[in-house]
Structure 1
Amino acid sequence: MTHPVDVHVGKRIRHRRWMIGMTQQQLADKVGIKFQQIQKYETGMNRVSASRLWDIADALEVPVSFFFEGLAGEASQAGAAAPAADLMADKEALALVRSYYAIPEAQRRRLFELAKVLSDAA
Structure 2
Amino acid sequence: MPRAIATTDPVDLVVGQRLKAARQRCGLSQAELGKAMNLSFQQVQKYERGTNRISASMLVRAGKALGVPVADFFPDVEPDPAADSRIDIRSLRGGEALTEHFAAMGPERRALLLQIAQAFALGPDDRSSG
TM-score normalised over the length of structure 2 = 0.58
| Per-residue deviation, residues 56-84 of structure 1 (Å, max 9, x unmatched) | 1110111110000132xx2xxxxxxxx75
Deviation by residue 1:14-55 (Cα, 9 ceiling, x = unmatched): 000111111100000000010000000000000001111111
Aligned to 2:73: 67
Q: Which has the higher contact order (CA 8 A, sep 6+)?
A: 1
Identity %, equivalent residues? 40
Question: Structure 2: which 5+ residue stretches go unaligned?
Answer: 1-6, 93-120
* Partner AA of 2:65 in structure 1: A
The structure with the larger Rg is: 2
Which of 15, 23, 28 matches 2:21? 15
CA distance in 2, matches of 1:84, 1:70: 8
- What's the C-alpha RMSD, in Å, of the aligned pairs? 2.9
1:87 and 1:56 mapped to 2: Cα distance?
A: 17
Amino acid aligned to 1:85? P
